[in-house]
Amino acid sequence: MAWIMKNSADAQIETRDEPYLTPDMEKKLREVYMPRYERPKGALFPALHMVQHHYGWIPQQAMQEIADVLEIAPSEVLDTVSFYEEYWELPKGEHLISVCRSIACEFCSATACTEAIKAKLGIDVGQTTDDGKFTLVELECLGSCGTAPVALIDDDLHENLSPDRIVSMIDQVQNGTYTQGGTGAVKEDL
Amino acid sequence: MPKKTWENTLTQHHLLKRIPTAPFGNIRDRHIVGYDEYVKTGGYEGLRKAMAMKPADVTSQVKDSVLRGRGGAGFPTGLKWTFLPDADGGQRYLAINADESEPGTFKDRLLMDFDPHGLLEGIAICMYACRLNKAYIFIRGEYHHQAHVLEEAIKEAYENGIFGEKGLLNQAGVSGDPFVGECYVHRGAGAYICGEETALLEGIEGKRGWPRIKPPFPALKGLFGRPTIINNVETLAHLPFIMSDGSDAFKNQGVESSIGGPPSFGTKLMGVSGHVEKPGCYELELGIPLRTLIEDYCGGIRGGKKFKGAIPGGVSMGILGRDQFDAEMDFDIGRKYDVLGLGTSGPTVFDEDTDMVAVARNIARFYKHESCGQCTPCREGSGWLYQIMTRIEAGDAKTKDLDLAMEVAKSMGSMPGTTICGLADGNNWAARTIMEKYHEEFEARVARTFVPVTIDMAALSGA
């Protein structure tokens, strides 16, 4: 429901002294991303991705800092952030499990996988475990329908899932034996 | 010679030349093809051939091949390029649509996963032909790995003189008008609507993915208000073959239209998913009957069951019913089989045990979730359709709900003329064709609506 507008008129912004946008990030934003676009606002997506990748969510203070660098209004940043599903306005768990619920996956038993994860973690879709370790969400098509059902654990795609397999992978994450991989490991932030 | 009816004449893959796939290779041999290996296997030949020609001649060759857009609409690519105004010294853009989010579609991911230079060569050819100096690959946010592979490949392409200051495009060729060509990856952030061409441009500009009202068309005023060409990944990946082997070689695959329309030439990636024995992405000639595709290439329906239906290429296209198993997978499919079109030609197949009401509900939920919210018929209609479908599935609906769903569905879309973009048309066609082609299933799930009628017997008898 990307279109629901957030009430930002009376929003209170929590701030901290240390900026969210580290000098490295700002340098990358100014030197790598901004020259790519004719207008500075074009670099908003890469900037947000950078913050999201680093903190796991996008604090409002970070939005203000990005707005300052790009010389746009903070509301324009919020406008974009609130539209896109991948940008988190609130902190999420350490690991994000995203199960695909679209057509091919649902009819190749993705629901059973979701139920198994819910039972394993004791949370519902959209919730985070009490220890802050896992957040479970359902997404629309992840673009791997031929190997349905599929799910993302953080940035790694796992294909041809079964309830047992996904549960054992969560076990691995919990006991620290999970190795990044899936279809491909992401080595660095893009 | 272009063929009238489909027969398999493919002796090697074109798009999947370096991505081993049945029947010409084993999936286990797949690996990321780097620049050196790409060049060794004939890569960047098409670009060099193109650069020995005048840009306008490259466009004519693409036009002559009748390459039709592989993103879903099937618009002739060469023709699209001719809509560009003459270069005026300002920026001109290429936006590559790699926002593959249509449920049932997983073809572009394969190209970007293993053969990124195939795409980059296509991009360079397009940039040369259309005099475009910046290319943005808009890749969906969920494709983390693919974005990384592309970044690496672009780095290699810069180092080896394809893009940038020292790039091929900046060497005075026949055209005598060199320019610096740049290519970047732009990652999306999880919005299906950004696959719509003008929403994609908004996304690159850093805004909400809200489709723009056309005209002006992107070819005249697109990205940052400048002329822009938007092409799908697979469309561009076809260009190296068309340039290196010529348009006639391209036309040898695929079929002429059987109903006198524009032809469907070339090969096509067909990502088969759902209830088949061997799902996966195959490269086949356009015009292949769905039955042949499923029985000869995908091992038939899972568990030897019967065919019930298939979505020809992404949920927006509607559904092929039980009696349409022999439908030919070409661009005529929309006019012949009462679906919206070929779409991305990645069939999602359902076996006889599938609950079609649940299929309709799943699709309705997708549109409810992905509607951008600009136009009321789409924003509200998609939500109502989902509610009605959920009600029917739960057995709480009445007969009149079927009429209501149909009425809501018919009122949505740019073809009825009520919305800016085509997202609602997809919802419209999906809901409508499923309800029409499987009406008995829907009727069996709803309670009859009785209309109480009082007859005045005295008035009838004339007293």
Please count the residue pairs, one from chain A and one from chain B, whose beta carbons lie less than 8 angstroms apart: 180
Which of A46, A86, A102 is the closest to B103 by Cβ? A102
CB distance from B346 to chain A under 8 Å? yes
Q: What is the mean pLDDT of chain B?
A: 93
CB B139 within 8 A of CB B17: no
Query: How does pLDDT run across B116-156, given as a tens digit for each residue?
Result: 999 999 999 999 999 999 999 999 999 999 999 999 999 99
* Residues B301, B370 share a domain: no
* Residues B171, B68 share a domain: yes
Query: How does pLDDT run across B342-362, given as a tens digit for each residue?
Result: 999 999 999 999 999 999 999
Burial of B215 (0-12, 13-18, 19+ CB in 10 A): exposed
Query: How does pLDDT run across B30-76, given as a tens digit for each residue?
Result: 999 999 999 999 999 999 999 999 999 999 999 999 999 998 889 99
Query: What pLDDT score was predicted for residue B179?
Result: 87
Which of A102, A145, A187 is the closest to B366 by Cβ? A102
pTM for the full model? 0.93
* Residues B311, B414 share a domain: no
State what percent of residues in chain B have pLDDT above 90: 86
Residue A190 has pLDDT above 70, yes or no: no
**Residues of A (100-119) whose Cβ lies below 8 Å from B:** 101-104, 106-108
Are B279 and A107 a contacting pair at CB < 8 A? no
* Residues B175, B122 share a domain: yes
**Residues of A (27-66) whose Cβ lies below 8 Å from B:** 36-39, 41-46, 48-49
Q: Which of A62-66, B69-73, B387-391 has the lowest mean pLDDT?
A: B69-73
Under the banding of pLDDT at 50, 70 and 90, the label for residue A4 is low
* Residues B346, B225 share a domain: no
Which of B151, B190, B203 is the closest to A85 by Cβ? B190
Query: How does pLDDT run across A143-185, given as a tens digit for each residue?
Result: 999 998 999 999 899 999 999 999 999 999 998 888 876 544 3
Count up the domains in chain B and report the number. 3
Is there a domain that residue B210 lies in? Answer: yes
Going from the N-terminus, what domains does chain A have, and what CATH number goes with each? 23-83 (1.10.10.1590), 95-175 (3.40.30.10)
ω before A149 within 30° of 0 (cis)?
yes
CB distance from A75 to chain B under 8 Å? no
Answer with the residue of higher pLDDT: B96 or B449. Answer: B96
Query: How does pLDDT run across B172-222, given as a tens digit for each residue?
Result: 666 667 889 999 999 999 999 999 999 999 999 999 999 999 999 999 999
Residues of B in contact with A143 (CB under 8 A): 100-101, 105-106, 108-109, 140, 142-143
Average pLDDT over every residue of B13-39: 92
Query: How does pLDDT run across B306-342, given as a tens digit for each residue?
Result: 999 999 989 999 999 999 999 999 999 999 999 999 9
* Residues B297, B231 share a domain: no
Residue A188 has pLDDT above 80, yes or no: no
Are A145 and B370 a contacting pair at CB < 8 A? no
CB B95 within 8 A of CB B102: no
Are A145 and B274 a contacting pair at CB < 8 A? yes
E strand intervals along A108-161: 134-139, 151-153, 156-158
Are B208 and A79 a contacting pair at CB < 8 A? yes
Query: Cα–Cα distances in Å, from B408 out to A175, B321, B379, B428, B434?
Result: 51, 22, 12, 8, 14
The pair of three-digit structure tokens given for residue A159, joined into one six-digit string: 């294909």
CB distance from B350 to chain A under 8 Å? yes
CB B233 within 8 A of CB B168: no
Q: What is the rounded CA–CA span in Å between residue B362 and residue A144?
A: 17
* Residues B103, B37 share a domain: yes
* Residues B371, B266 share a domain: no
* Residues B377, B266 share a domain: no
Is there a domain that residue B346 lies in? Answer: yes
Give B260's contacts (C-beta < 8 A, 6+ positions apart): none
Q: Which residues form the domain of B395?
A: 356-445
CB B308 within 8 A of CB B354: yes
* Residues B284, B323 share a domain: yes
Residues of A in contact with B374 (CB under 8 A): 3
From the list A147, A75, A64, the residue with the least C-alpha distance to A109 is A147
* Residues B202, B280 share a domain: no
Is there a domain that residue B1 lies in? Answer: no
